[in-house]
Structure 1
Amino acid sequence: MLLSIVITFLSIYIIYLEKESISKETTELARINISLFLTFFISVGTYIFGESYGLSKVRNTVLQLVAIILGFMFCLYFEANPSNFENHIFFMISFICAICFIFFAPYVKKIFNKKEEIKKTQENYYAYFSAILYSLSTAILIGGIIFILTSIGLFTIDVLFKANIGGRAYGYAFSIAFSLIASAIGLNSIPQKESFEKGNYNENHFSLFLIKYVLIPFIFAYFVILYVYSAKVLIDFSNWPRGEISWLVIIFSTFGYFTYILSYIYEEKIHLIKIFRKYFPFVVLPQIFMLFYSIFLRINQYNLTVNRYFVLLFGFWLLFITIYFIFSKRKYLAFIVFSLFSFSTVISIGPWSVYKLPEGLQTEELKKDLKFVGILKENGKIIPFNNKEKGKNKEILEKRREIENRIRYICNWHNCEKLIKDLKLEGKIKENYAYNLHDYLDSSYYEYSYIDKNGNFDVLNIYFPNIDERKEIKGYEYHYSQIPTYKEKTSKNYIYLNFKEKKIYVYENGENIDILDFTNIIEKIIKEYGEIGSIKEKLEKPLIFELEGNKIKAKLFINGAYFRIKDGKTYESDDNFRNTISGEFIYSKK
C-alpha cells in the first residue's frame, strides 16, 4: 500500500512538471514511476506466493527485495520517451505481464508437479483465476467511476464559477482514483490463503453467455479474416504480407487463450466450447508461421528493431504455448500466464532486452554503412561525404538511404546518445537529434534524391536545390507557391492536384474554371528519373512544364516529387499515403 501512495504522489508531481514542459527530469521521473508501478504488481504477486506456501517473515522480506530488484532492473533498461508510441505499447505489455504473476503466484510449484491429479488442480486454479479477475475488474471499475464522477464535479465548477480548471486537475484525479483508491480496493479483495485449495467458483448465465455467444464467435470471425488474408498472400508471393498481420496474430491468439482459460468449466457441458478448446491451438499454429514469415521478411530487409523484436519474441511465446497445448496431456491453464510472465521478464532486462539488443545491432550496421560510403574511416575519423561523387554509384545511393533510416531509427528510439559516443561526436552535435546528426555526417541531406525499393512498390523521391531562384513569369497573371493534393476548404480561389485522376483543378470564386491534364508530366518524371543511379546525374535544373486547358494556360515549376511507383505508374494505396508534388504554379486566362 505504501508503494501505491508513492506512485500516486510521484504521478501528481510528474503531471505538474509536464504542464510546464517535457524535460529530461520529467522523462526520468516517468521512467521511475512506471518501474514502481510494475514493481507494485510484482510485489503483490510475491506476497501471495509467500502466503500460499506459509513462508516465514524473513523469507517473505527476501521475496519483496527480489520484487524491488526486478523493478530496479526494469528501470535501468526501460527508455521512457513520452512521445514514442512504441514505448507506450511496451509499457502496456509489461503492465499486463506484471499482473500475470498475480494470476499464478500460489501455483508456481504445481505447474511442474506431474504427480498431482490434474482435474482438481485445474479446478482450484480456475477458481483462483476467476477470483483475481473479479477483484481486478472491480478495482478498475470503481476507480473509473470515481474518476468520472470527480471529472464531472470539476467540469461543473469550471463552467459555473469560471474557475479555469486546467488539465492538471483531471490528471491529479486520475492518479488518485487509480493509483490510490483502485489499488486499495484491489488489495483488499484478493482471496485469502484458505480459499486457494477449495476450488470454489460460481457458474453464472452471464459468463456462459459471454463465452458462448460473444468471445468464441468473435475469435472465429477474427481467424477467418486472418486465414482469408493468408490465402491472398500465398496466392501472390510478389506482394509482401502487411506488417500489421504479425501483431493481429499475437492479439487474436492471446485473446483466444484468455477465452480458453475462462471456458474451462463449461467444456463438458457445452459442445461448442468443447470443440473450441480442442481445436483452437491447431488453428493458431499456421498463423504463427505467417507471423514469422511476415516479420523475417522485414528483419532481413532492415535488421532488428524494437517493434520487430517484440513481434519475434511474442511469436516464440505463442509457438511455445501452442505446442504445449497440442502435445501436453496435462494442459495446465496456469502455464499460459506463467509463460507470458517469464517471457516478458526475460525481454525486459539484460543486454538482450527489447531496447539494448536492437540498438546494438542497428548501431553496428550503421557503422558498416558509414564505412562503405567513406564517411567513417577505420581509425574512427568522420569525413563528410564527397559532393562530387553523388549519384555516380548505385550502391552508394542505396546505402545513403539506409543510413538516413538507421540514424532516424536510432535517434528516435535511443536518443542518439550511444551512437554519438561510439562515433566520438561529443561536443560536435548541438542536439542529439536525427537531422542534426545526419547533417553532420552528410551535409547534402536536404539535396539528395533516391528510389526506395519496398516490396509491393518503389518510392520515388526527387529534391531539387534552389538552382535558379529567378523564374520566367512574363505573360502570366496568377501565382500559387504550393501545389496541394486536396481541396482547399478555407479559400474560394485555389488549385489542387488529383493524383488518381492525374488532373489539376483550378478554382476561382469557388467554381471550377478549368481542368488540366497531368498524365504526361507524371509519365515523363517516372521515365526520366525512375531508375536508381539516374537521378543525381540529371538534377541540373528544376523541372518546368507548360500546360494548356480550355480556358487557361499555365506553367508548372517542380522542385520536388514524392510518390509511389508500381509497374511504371503511380501507385494509389489505402494506407493514408499521399503522393505529392512540390513546386509553384502560375497561370493566365486565354
Structure 2
Amino acid sequence: MKFPSIKSLAEGFKTTLKLYPVEVAFALAGTIAATVNVELDNINRVGESWCLRIMMAANLGLLLSLATTLYLRSKEISGTKKLILKSLAAVLAVLICAILDPYYRQSDYMRFLLLSLSFHLLVAYAGFTIKGHIQGFWQFNKTLFLRFLTSVLYSGVLYLGLAAAMGALNFLFNFKFEWDAFLILWVWIAGMFNTLFFLAGVPTNLGALDQDDTYPKGLKVFTQYVLVPLATVYVLILLAYEAKILLEWSLPKGLVSNIILGYAVFGILSLLLVYPIREREENKWLKTYAKSFYFLLLPLLALLFTAVGTRVFRYGVTEERYFLILLAFWLLFISVYFLAFKKQNIKLIPVSLSIITVLSVYGPQSAFSVSKYSQTRILINIFKKHNAFSAGKLKPLTTKIDSLSGAEAAAKVDYLVREHDFASLQTYISPNLDAVSDSIAKGKDRNVYFNRYEFKYLKTEWMIAYLKLQHYGRYGRIDTVTSMGGYYRFEPENGIVGLKEYDYILMGVGADSAALKINNLSIKRTEKEEPRSVGLLVNGQRVEFNIDQLARQLSDIKTKPNNAKYDPNDAAKLPLSKMSIVKQVKGFKVTLVVSSINFNMTNRVPEDKIYVDGYYLLKEIQ
C-alpha cells in the first residue's frame, strides 16, 4: 500500500474544506468539545454534560450534512434550495443536542448510537434515491468501506508515531506529558485527521459510478474464503443446536440470539460484497448460496423468537430484548423478500434498516417507551399486590414483603432511575424529584465532587430508601444477602472435609464428553438447561441435581455479608448442610457438594447463567 505524500495530503485537505465546509465545522466542534471534556472529567458536572451533548450533536450533524450533500449532488441542486436543506440538517443536529442528555439519562447513549447508525445508513443511499443505479450504489459503498479502513490504518499509525515521540520526550528531556495529553492527541487525530482523510475519498461524480464495473480481487477472496465459511460454521452449529432442543424439548439459551445475529451479519455482508459478480459464469454458486442462506435463516428466526419471547414473558421488555425482536422481524422481512422476488434491490437493506432504527428511538412505539412501560407496570403491580399503591402513587412499604418481590421491585427502581432518571418515576411519586435531585447534587455533608455514576447511584439509593426497599435491593444499606441472588461459598472447617463415609470423589461439575472408568464403575458428568441441573451417569443410571431449586433455597437464607453495603463479590459462607444435595440410586449414594455458586434471581426464577463449582462424593451400598 502506497502512503500519500505530505503535499498530496495538504492538497486533498484543502479540496475537502471546499467541498464539505459544514461537515468539517461539525467535526471541529465535536473535537473541541471532546478536548474540553477530557479536561473537565470529574470536575464540572454541567460542563461535562454539555460537552457530551455537543459531541453527539457534532457526530450526527456531520452525518446528516454529508447525507444532504450527497443527495444534493445526485439531484444537481444548487442555490437557495441547497442552502435551505443544508441549514435544516444543521438545525436538526442542534435540536438533537438540546434533547439528548446522556449525563443524566443513560438511555440517551443508546438513542445516540441508534441515530448515528440510522444516519450512517442514510449516507449509504442518500445519493441514490432515484430508482435503479444499483451498480453505482454498490461501487459507492465499496469505496466508502475501503476508504474507512484506510483512514483507520493511517490514523492509527500517525497516533502511535506521535505518542511514541511524546513518550521519548518524557523519557529523554523530562517533559511532563500526562495521560490526558495522549488522550487529547487521539481526540484530534480521530476527530480531525481521520474525518478529513475519509471525506477526501468520498466520490464526487456519483453518476460515473454506474459505468464502473471494477471489482477488487481481494474482496472476492475475503468473502469466499473468510465470510462464507464463517457463516457456514455458524449455521451448522445453530441447526445442530436447534435439533438438540427439539429432541430434548427444552427452551433455548439466551446466548443463541447473539449467535443467530452473527450468522445473519456474516451472511448478508458476504452476499452484499459479491453482489456485482453474482451473474458471472464462474460464480453461479453464489445464487445457490444466497437462496440457501435465506432459507436456512427462517428456522433460526423461529428459534430467535422463542429465545427472546421466553425471557420477555419471564422478565418483561427491556431495550435489548426489544431490539432483538425488532431485528428478528426485519430479518424475516428481508428473507421473505429475497426468497420471493427474482428482481431484487439491495438498496432495500439500508433503507429499511435506517427507517426501523429511527422509529425505535422516539415515540410510544420506541424501544425506550415500551421498555419503560413494561418495567414500570411490573413495579406498580408489585406495590398493588402489597397494598402500597393508591391514587396513582407508589407508597412507601409499611409492612415487610416477601424477599423475591422486594428484590424484583428494587431491581425495577434501579433500572428506571439508571436508564431514564428520576423523571420516569415522578408521575408515581409524591415528592418533587427535581428538588430532591438538586439537593443530592449540592452534596450535603460532602466536601468532594462526585461523578455522574456516583450521582446516579445516590439518586437510586434515595428512591429505594423512600420506597422502603433498602432491605431488598442492590443499593442502599442492607443486612441480608438479597433474593436478587448473590455469591455463596462453602468453606470446610480447617480446610478439611471428612470422606470416611464415601469411596470416591469426583472433582468438578461440568459435563464430560466421555465416561470415566474406574474398577467396575462407569461415570459420566452431565448437564441440562431446563431446568438447570447437573448430575452423573453411574453405570447407566442418571442422578440429577436441580441447581435452579438450590438457587431459590439459598436466595431466602438471611446471612449478613461482611460489609454494610452489598458487594456481589463478597460471598456468603454457608455450612455443608446448606451447600450439598444427597441422592440415592440402585447400589450407590451420591452427594453433590457445591463449593461456590453465583447467580441472579428475577421473578422467582434464577436468571440466565448460574455459575456453579463443586464436586461429587460416591459411596457403594449393598
User: Structure 1 residue 93: deviation in Å?
Assistant: 5.2
The superposition leaves residues 427-452 of structure 1 with CA deviations (integer Å, 9 ceiling, x where unpaired) of 56856533332222125333467767
Could you tell me how far apart the structure 2 residues matched to 1:326 and 1:64 are?
39
The superposition leaves residues 459-506 of structure 1 with CA deviations (integer Å, 9 ceiling, x where unpaired) of 5x69xxxxxxxxxxxxxxxxxxxxx95xxxxxxxxxxx4xxxxx6374
Q: Which structure 2 residues correspond to residues 505-520 of structure 1 after superposition, within 5 A?
A: 506=494, 514-515=496-497
Residue 577 and residue 28 in structure 1: after superposition, are their counterparts in 2 closer, same or farther (change >3 A)? farther
The superposition leaves residues 92-128 of structure 1 with CA deviations (integer Å, 9 ceiling, x where unpaired) of 5543432221211122232xxxxx5xxxx33222222
The superposition leaves residues 522-542 of structure 1 with CA deviations (integer Å, 9 ceiling, x where unpaired) of xxxx99x96979997x96x99
Q: 1:245 aligned to 2:256?
A: yes
Secondary structure (helix, strand or coil) at the match of 2:389 reads coil
* Pick aligned residue for 2:126 from 105, 111, 127: 105
2:146 counterpart residue number:
134
The superposition leaves residues 357-390 of structure 1 with CA deviations (integer Å, 9 ceiling, x where unpaired) of 3223322332232222122323636233313xx4
1:316 counterpart residue number:
329
1:380 counterpart residue number:
393
Q: Which structure 2 residues correspond to residues 549-568 of structure 1 after superposition, within 5 A?
A: 558=574
Residue 198 and residue 265 in structure 1: after superposition, are their counterparts in 2 closer, same or farther (change >3 A)? closer
2:349 counterpart residue number:
336
Q: 1:439 aligned to 2:447?
A: no
Alpha carbons 1:562, 1:579 under 8 Å: kept: no
TM-score, length-scaled by structure 2: 0.69
Q: Which structure 2 residues correspond to residues 83-482 of structure 1 after superposition, within 5 A?
A: 92=113, 94-110=115-131, 121-193=133-205, 195-238=207-250, 240-267=251-278, 268=280, 269-378=282-391, 380=393, 382-387=395-400, 390-391=401-402, 397-420=403-426, 422-425=428-431, 426=433, 430=440, 433-442=459-468, 443-445=470-472, 446-447=478-479
Alpha carbons 2:360, 2:366 under 8 Å: kept: yes
Q: Which structure 2 residues correspond to residues 523-562 of structure 1 after superposition, within 5 A?
A: 558=574
Gaps of 5+ in 2: 1-23, 441-454, 473-477, 503-545, 562-571, 584-590, 600-607, 615-622
Single out whichever of 556-565 and 34-43 deviates more from structure 2. 556-565
Residue 166 and residue 245 in structure 1: after superposition, are their counterparts in 2 closer, same or farther (change >3 A)? farther
Which one-letter code corresponds to 1:404 in the other structure? A
Secondary structure (helix, strand or coil) at the match of 1:374 reads coil
Could you tell me how far apart the structure 2 residues matched to 1:297 and 1:216 are?
31
Residue 530 and residue 194 in structure 1: after superposition, are their counterparts in 2 closer, same or farther (change >3 A)? closer
Alpha carbons 1:542, 1:558 under 8 Å: kept: no
The superposition leaves residues 126-157 of structure 1 with CA deviations (integer Å, 9 ceiling, x where unpaired) of 22222222233332322222222222222222
2:492 counterpart residue number:
504
Secondary structure (helix, strand or coil) at the match of 2:492 reads strand
Alpha carbons 1:17, 1:26 under 8 Å: kept: yes
Could you tell me how far apart the structure 2 residues matched to 1:519 and 1:416 are?
58
Residue 187 and residue 66 in structure 1: after superposition, are their counterparts in 2 closer, same or farther (change >3 A)? same
Could you tell me how far apart the structure 2 residues matched to 1:187 and 1:69 are?
22
Could you tell me how far apart the structure 2 residues matched to 1:564 and 1:28 are?
55
Secondary structure (helix, strand or coil) at the match of 1:137 reads helix
Which one-letter code corresponds to 1:104 in the other structure? Y
Aligned residues: 492
1:12 counterpart residue number:
35
Q: Percent identity?
A: 17
Which one-letter code corresponds to 1:321 in the other structure? I
User: Structure 1 residue 6: deviation in Å?
Assistant: 0.8
Alpha carbons 2:392, 2:428 under 8 Å: kept: no
User: Structure 1 residue 161: deviation in Å?
Assistant: 3.1
Q: 1:64 aligned to 2:70?
A: no
Secondary structure (helix, strand or coil) at the match of 1:355 reads helix
User: Structure 1 residue 73: deviation in Å?
Assistant: 5.5
Could you tell me how far apart the structure 2 residues matched to 1:317 and 1:566 are?
49
Could you tell me how far apart the structure 2 residues matched to 1:207 and 1:535 are?
54
Could you tell me how far apart the structure 1 residues matched to 2:286 and 2:351 are?
23
Which one-letter code corresponds to 2:182 in the other structure? Y
Could you tell me how far apart the structure 1 residues matched to 2:137 and 2:575 are?
67
User: Structure 1 residue 335: deviation in Å?
Assistant: 1.3
Alpha carbons 1:564, 1:572 under 8 Å: kept: no
Gaps of 5+ in 1: 111-115, 392-396, 453-458, 463-483, 486-496, 498-502, 508-513, 521-525, 544-555, 582-590
Which one-letter code corresponds to 1:504 in the other structure? P
Which one-letter code corresponds to 1:444 in the other structure? H
Residue 252 and residue 154 in structure 1: after superposition, are their counterparts in 2 closer, same or farther (change >3 A)? farther
Which one-letter code corresponds to 2:82 in the other structure? N
Alpha carbons 2:31, 2:55 under 8 Å: kept: no
Alpha carbons 1:563, 1:578 under 8 Å: kept: no
The superposition leaves residues 223-267 of structure 1 with CA deviations (integer Å, 9 ceiling, x where unpaired) of 2222223333333344x3222222332233123212211111232
Could you tell me how far apart the structure 2 residues matched to 1:410 and 1:277 are?
43
Alpha carbons 2:598, 2:612 under 8 Å: kept: no
Could you tell me how far apart the structure 1 residues matched to 2:382 and 2:342 are?
51
Alpha carbons 1:505, 1:516 under 8 Å: kept: no
Residue 82 and residue 264 in structure 1: after superposition, are their counterparts in 2 closer, same or farther (change >3 A)? farther
1:548 counterpart residue number:
none
Residue 91 and residue 428 in structure 1: after superposition, are their counterparts in 2 closer, same or farther (change >3 A)? closer
